[in-house]
Structure 1
Amino acid sequence: MDATVRKIVEEASASSVTARPSREEAEAAVEVLLRWIGETPSREGLLDTPRRVVKAYEEIFGGYDQEPAEILTRTFEEVAGYDEMVLVRNIDFISHCEHHMVPIIGKAHVAYQPDGRVLGLSKIARVVDIYARRLQTQEAMTEQVAAVIDAALTPRGVAVMIEAEHMCMSMRGIRTKGSSTITTSFFGTFKDDRAEQARFLSMIK
């Protein structure tokens, strides 16, 4: 595995997450935030909010409890010699910005060129979902998805494009509704061959 790829995968590993506080501590933190914004946690509509928020966070940020590399351990070799591009387009995801903890809503497009082994198509979508269910920057998420597929499958090339709207720009700050950000990551043949990059981009459209 290339040293750069290894570094990306290791830094994104769920095992690097620090020890978590208890559920009770997490719920108490939500109550503090409610009081900080000017609310009264004891009023009827908010009595159960800390519990609900913590339960929702378990699902929204469930990517910390999953290891993407483990999802990719099962591959298939009986593919009749297929070695052309495999592309999964328009994988919907919702992540959260690590700077403001507000949503990043977008689509991922992931392609690879097999070298004797292929993945189950659902595994690609699951990898995107796992990384999305962590606090992210779009740039880092793009690199993580590409790097873990490259490391697990050792294909001839990997290409990832993510296009997303950031609520930290739409809901606050400059409030530019509808703007989108596009990031790409290319490994192997997609990085070395501009024609393959162009083919990937044209197939997305």
Structure 2
Amino acid sequence: MEHEYTRIIEALGEDASREGLRDTPARAAKAMKFLTRGYTQTLEGVVNGALFPSDNSEMVLVKDIELYSMCEHHLLPFVGKAHVAYIPQGSVIGLSKIGRIVDMFARRLQIQENMTKQIAEAIMQVTHAAGVGVVIEAQHMCMMMRGIEKQNAIMKTSMMLGSFRENLATRNEFMALIRG
């Protein structure tokens, strides 16, 4: 990867051996590996058995989970927040694991629409919840720094599974909670 960054810098017309750029290919390769570390993670490894018995059957919501991802179309960042809720059925997941699941999918080359679905399906798979709701709000540098250059556009995506899809009251409660 480091070699390829050197080639990119040179293709831009720069001298990759000049002082300011000499270590850039190594730094860029290290940064890209960090930004896409989700490829080295598995759902089982992230959750690490952190499911706990519970008779709670009311909505559990974690909102404003910051996320940083990379657009698979332009390799530019998109940043935002995820709101994740589920209705437990006999067990709850460790609180930090929800944020870790968001990160695992965000830290890959992505489009927001697919990431929203992947997070919802992973939460459902792990928790066996009665329902899962995920809403993601993000700003995309591919739309802000290039192309149409719209600085204030926010993309919102949602995925509703189980009772969040089937029961309007559950969906409305979720949406009201993330607004409030």
What is the TM-score of this pair, normalised by structure 1? 0.85
Matched position secondary structure for 2:90:
coil
What letter corresponds to residue 52 of structure 1 in structure 2? R
Q: Does residue 19 of structure 2 align to residue 44 of structure 1?
A: yes
Could you tell me how far 1:70 is from its partner in structure 2? 3.1
Superposition CA RMSD, Å? 0.9
What letter corresponds to residue 89 of structure 1 in structure 2? K
Residue in structure 1 matching 2:42, options 50, 57, 67: 67
Residue in structure 1 matching 2:94, options 120, 141, 147: 120
How do residues 74-153 of structure 1 correspond to structure 2 at under 5 angstroms? 74-77=50-53, 79=54, 81-153=55-127
The residue that corresponds to 1:160 in the other structure is 134
Matched position secondary structure for 1:46:
coil
Gaps of 5+ in 1: 1-25
CA distance in structure 1 between the partners assigned to 2:39 and 2:132 by the alignment? 24
Q: Does residue 1 of structure 2 align to residue 35 of structure 1?
A: no
CA distance in structure 2 between the partners assigned to 1:183 and 1:61 by the alignment? 21
Q: How many residues of Structure 1 are paired with residues of Structure 2 in the alignment?
A: 178
Q: CA offsets, 1:121-162, max 9 Å, x none?
A: 100000001111100000000000000111111110000000
The residue that corresponds to 2:147 in the other structure is 173
The residue that corresponds to 2:28 in the other structure is 53
Gaps of 5+ in 2: none
> Contact 2:86–2:130 at 8 Å: present in 1 too?
yes
Q: CA offsets, 1:51-88, max 9 Å, x none?
A: 111111121111111112432333000x3x21100000
Sequence identity (%): 45
Structure with the larger strand share? 2
CA distance in structure 1 between the partners assigned to 2:127 and 2:5 by the alignment? 41
